[in-house]
Amino acid sequence: MKHLLGLKNVSATEIQEILDEAFRMKREVLEGSKKDNCLSGKSVITLFFENSTRTRLSFELASKYLGATAANIAASGSSVAKGETLIDTAKTIDQMAADAIIIRHSSSGAPHLIAEYTNASIINAGDGMNEHPTQALLDMMTMQEKKGSLKGLRVAIVGDVKHSRVARSNIYGLKAMGADVVLAGPSTLMPAELERLGVPAYYDVEKAIQGADVVMGLRIQLERQKKGLFPSVREYHKYFGVNEARMQLAAPDAILMHPGPVNRGVELSADIIDGDRSVIGEQVTNGVCVRMAVLNLLAGNKK
Amino acid sequence: MRLLIKNGRVVDPQNGIDEIQDLLIDGGVVQSVGKNLDAADAEIIDATGKIVAPGLVDLHVHFREPGLEYKEDIETGSRAAAKGGVTTVVCMPNTSPVIDNAPLVQYVMNRGKEVGLINVLTCGCISKEQKSGELAEIGELKAAGAVGISDDGRPVLSSSLMRKALEYAKMFEIPVLSHCEDLELVDGGSMNEGYMSTYLGLRGIPKAAESVAVTRDILIAEEVDGRLHICHVSTKNAIEAIRAAKKRGVKLTAETAPHYFSLTDKACDGFNTNAKMNPPLRDEEDVKAVIEGLMDGTLDAIATDHAPHHRDEKELEFDLASNGIVGLETSLGLGVTYLVKTGKLTMSQLIEKMSVNPAKIINFDRGSLAVGKVADVVIFDPDKEYQVCVDTFASKGKNSPYDGFNLYGQVETTITAGKIVYQRNEK
């Protein structure tokens, strides 16, 4: 694999290879050895056109733990607003002998575009509403860690599916791994012809959660309310918020996930965010491990 | 100069002709049509196995001049047209500045004459500066030669202004060409809303963005008895609205573009910006409806919406890339391949859609090979397969989703007013 642009056409074998590598990285990290040298002599650039704290820090630490030279570029606004095209920006970075470029961009397909013009490995850290593959990988790693196999696992994804690249990458990855994905969210926040992705969608959040092994809340951007996609945060929480009572409908040992950052009391109620079923903290740890794994597999010395 | 086109299959639907005949052109007009014509001093074109038809009339092109010559100009656009068998074009007025006054109409037409390859006609704007505020000087636009009025590229947002335009234009017997789009429903979308937009994570444009606007304009035209022409129709519901209106007797014509009967939004896969246009490529159901609309006459004409862009405007993130594709050099091939070869239209019906009807819509005396008519002629090979290669396009724009497609209907010779303006060279 040269690039990680998404999970759309990635096989179960490839996904498992990344997850196995991530578990290996996790053992190293937990043993306190954060000085693997598999990226020594390599340079990793994060090119973020959207604000991000956790994803960017996660990638930065992942590359540093592996001994890479890491640098960050925060580009504000679109390439057009900046007066330089995305391709030119990417080519410039590429000319500085970058081995991996990690890109986040508000336009779907931006990583695919630069992959055609650069020698570096391109890692998609979120493109528009399209994909966020490392998030789905860390989600799957967490599920595998807690639940064993992903095959036959019932995963309920709840919230703004329409605008969510996290949901899309999870749908592609989980389906490849044989999990049963169900979705729930307001009709105004469901993408067109979703059923053709092979996942059932419900407007009734309780139906989706019923018997789920994993309940995943999606972040809702509060500005969507201003655009008229839902009437109020209050009503959103009433119909689609995950709370303790709704979690009771899930399997007894179900886990609760969220890609973060959470709007407390909107997607999830505070009690369950901090409750026993929540694995939100572990998702963050696994995020670093998955990114270490991806970096090593794409750009590492020990390929 | 005299030209004698020998042994071609003359397809001249206006005059009910579809048979092997010769065509003699003299002094820029058709002098005779018939079997075994002889003319001692004439230049002979052997059209054996080829089709000889009236030159194509394209109601919807963007030649970008004045102001946007880096995309296309009237000379390169004319060459592209000639290469595609198109002898008359109607330029859209969204140039820079926009063509909202008589001198600009004259400028475009004069440039077309200077280039001298094809008939370059133009629309004037509906509203001043295409701002949907005040009407442009439609009487003067018409007097200067404009064959229609349109705010193409920008919909007329105000229903009230559209009503005034349809009422006012009626006096001057000039059609209102409407780019039907409800921008609120578009809401920042960059491709058709459906499975593919979900799959690619791109904002979708609902089909209602077109059908709502089409319906609005039809109802207004009906009420004021205006002369409405709907541009680049792409959706089933819009076609049904047009069909119903025609049944009621509304004075209405409509065009579609070759991409709406030959491609679906699947062409956007891989974030292919050369499949990005407005209205966007739709899905199978709409393609089927477009073909049915062409078959039953709901859609009168095929126009390309030839929209050349610089590669810098296409080699971008999908949602930031410019809308539009070039079409002049592929339209006939797409029509022959996707409509005639598939048995949907006869060759004669295709020529009606691409020459006869569009000429009527703008009341321009073309689309006929009758004796005495101006000799605008296209000769093409309906049976030999050829491969589209954008690098060989005469247009400055290479933004076509058809690169590498195998088509039938390659243009051999294009003649405008008796003068050969394009002759394909055998490689």
Q: How far apart are CA A208 and CA A30, in angstroms?
A: 35
Which amino acid is present at A192? A
Does the beta carbon of A165 lie under 8 angstroms from any beta carbon of chain B? yes
Let me know whether A274 and A194 are in one domain: yes
Let me know whether A105 and A146 are in one domain: no
Do B198 and A196 count as a contact with CB atoms less than 8 A apart? Answer: yes
User: Is residue A1 included in any domain, yes or no?
Assistant: no
Q: How far apart are CA B258 and CA B290, in angstroms?
A: 10
Q: What ipTM, to 2 d.p.?
A: 0.94
Q: How far apart are CA B244 and CA B180, in angstroms?
A: 17
Which amino acid is present at B39? A
Tokens of B266: 């699947």
Query: In the prediction, which pLDDT does B246 show?
Result: 98
Per-residue model confidence as pLDDT tens digits over A153-179: 999 999 999 999 999 999 999 999 999
The per-residue DSSP string of B247-293 comes to HHT--EEEEE-HHHHH--GGGGTTT-GGG--SSPP--HHHHHHHHHH
Q: Is residue A80 predicted with pLDDT exceeding 70?
A: no
Count structural domains, chain A: 2
Of the candidates B194, B204, B317, the beta carbon closest to that of A110 is on: B317
User: Is residue A6 included in any domain, yes or no?
Assistant: no
Give the position of tokens 């504000």: A76
Tell the burial category of A122 from Cβ atoms under 10 Å away from its Cβ (0-12, 13-18, 19+). buried
Let me know whether A195 and A110 are in one domain: no
User: Is residue A303 included in any domain, yes or no?
Assistant: no
Asked whether the beta carbons of A40 and A67 are under 8 A apart, the reply is yes
Do B201 and A168 count as a contact with CB atoms less than 8 A apart? Answer: yes
Q: How far apart are CA A160 and CA A287, in angstroms?
A: 22
Q: What are phi and psi of B80, to 5 degrees?
A: -60, -40
Q: Is residue A244 predicted with pLDDT exceeding 80?
A: yes
User: How far is the alpha carbon of A120 from chain B, nearest alpha carbon, in Å?
Assistant: 19
Let me know whether A250 and A144 are in one domain: yes
Let me know whether A266 and A151 are in one domain: yes
Q: How far apart are CA B337 and CA B349, in angstroms?
A: 14
The CATH number for A294's domain is 3.40.50.1370
Do B270 and A197 count as a contact with CB atoms less than 8 A apart? Answer: no
Q: Is residue A76 predicted with pLDDT exceeding 90?
A: no
Nearest residue to A16 via CA among A146, A150, A213: A150
The chain B residues in contact with chain A (CB within 8 A) are 193-195, 197-204, 270-271, 312, 315-320
The per-residue DSSP string of A42-59 comes to -EEEEEESS--SHHHHHH
Q: What are phi and psi of B45, to 5 degrees?
A: -115, 120
Let me know whether A89 and A138 are in one domain: no
Tokens of B259: 């991409």
Asked whether the beta carbons of B305 and B324 are under 8 A apart, the reply is yes
Q: How far apart are CA B415 and CA B118, in angstroms?
A: 9
User: Is residue A3 included in any domain, yes or no?
Assistant: no
The CB-side HSE value for A92 (13 A sphere, CA atoms) comes to: 8
Do A109 and B317 count as a contact with CB atoms less than 8 A apart? Answer: yes
User: Is residue A146 included in any domain, yes or no?
Assistant: yes
Do A109 and B193 count as a contact with CB atoms less than 8 A apart? Answer: no
Let me know whether A104 and A78 are in one domain: yes
Q: What is the mean pLDDT of each run of 10 residues along chain B (427 residues)?
A: 95 98 97 93 96 98 98 98 98 97 98 98 97 96 98 94 98 98 96 98 98 98 98 98 97 97 98 98 98 98 98 96 98 98 98 98 98 98 97 98 98 98 85
Tokens of B285: 């159901």
Does the beta carbon of A226 lie under 8 angstroms from any beta carbon of chain B? no
Query: In the prediction, which pLDDT does A84 show?
Result: 87
Let me know whether A182 and A275 are in one domain: yes
Average pLDDT over residues A201-217: 97
Beta-carbon contacts of residue A83 (< 8 Å; ≥ 6 apart) = none
Residue of B186, B199, B203, B317 for testing the chain A interface, max A β-carbons within 10 Å: B317
Let me know whether A142 and A46 are in one domain: no
Map out the domains of chain B with their CATH numbers: 3-51+374-395+402-423 (2.30.40.10), 55-361 (3.20.20.140)
In terms of DSSP bridges, do strands A214-217 and B191-192 run parallel, antiparallel, or are they unpaired? unpaired
The per-residue DSSP string of B350-417 comes to HHIIIIIHHHHHTT-S-S---TTSB--EEEEEEEEEEE--GGG-SSS----TTTT-EEEEEEEEEEET
Range A22-27 contact pairs with CB under 8 angstroms and sequence separation of 24 or more: A22/A137, A22/A138, A22/A141, A22/A286, A22/A289, A22/A290, A22/A292, A22/A293, A23/A141, A23/A145, A23/A289, A24/A293, A25/A289, A25/A292, A25/A293, A25/A296, A26/A285, A26/A286, A26/A289
Let me know whether A121 and A219 are in one domain: no
pTM: 0.95
Catalytic residue of the set B152, B305, B376, B381: B305
**Structural domain harbouring A252:** 133-279
Query: In the prediction, which pLDDT does A51 show?
Result: 86
CA-to-CA separations, A187 to A168, A197, B425, in angstroms, rounded: 17, 16, 58
CA-to-CA separations, A298 to A13, A39, A63, A115, A290, in angstroms, rounded: 16, 10, 12, 13, 12
Asked whether the beta carbons of A197 and A191 are under 8 A apart, the reply is no
Let me know whether A126 and A186 are in one domain: no
User: Is residue A269 included in any domain, yes or no?
Assistant: yes
Contacts of A80 in chain B (CB under 8 A): 316, 320
Beta-carbon contacts of residue A244 (< 8 Å; ≥ 6 apart) = A269, A271, A272, A275
Query: In the prediction, which pLDDT does B219 show?
Result: 98
Let me know whether A98 and A157 are in one domain: no
Tell the burial category of A88 from Cβ atoms under 10 Å away from its Cβ (0-12, 13-18, 19+). middle
Query: In the prediction, which pLDDT does A81 show?
Result: 61
Average pLDDT over residues A200-228: 94
Asked whether the beta carbons of B179 and B154 are under 8 A apart, the reply is yes
Query: In the prediction, which pLDDT does A31 show?
Result: 86
User: Is residue A5 included in any domain, yes or no?
Assistant: no
Q: How far apart are CA A237 and CA A243, in angstroms?
A: 9
Q: How far apart are CA A18 and CA A12, in angstroms?
A: 10
Nearest residue to B330 via CA among B290, B266, B278, B274: B274
**Catalytic residue status for B305:** yes
Asked whether the beta carbons of A165 and A134 are under 8 A apart, the reply is no
- State the helix-helix crossing angle for A54-65 and A133-147, rounded to 10 degrees: 80
User: Is residue A2 included in any domain, yes or no?
Assistant: no
Per-residue model confidence as pLDDT tens digits over B174-225: 999 999 999 999 999 999 999 999 999 999 999 999 999 999 999 999 999 9
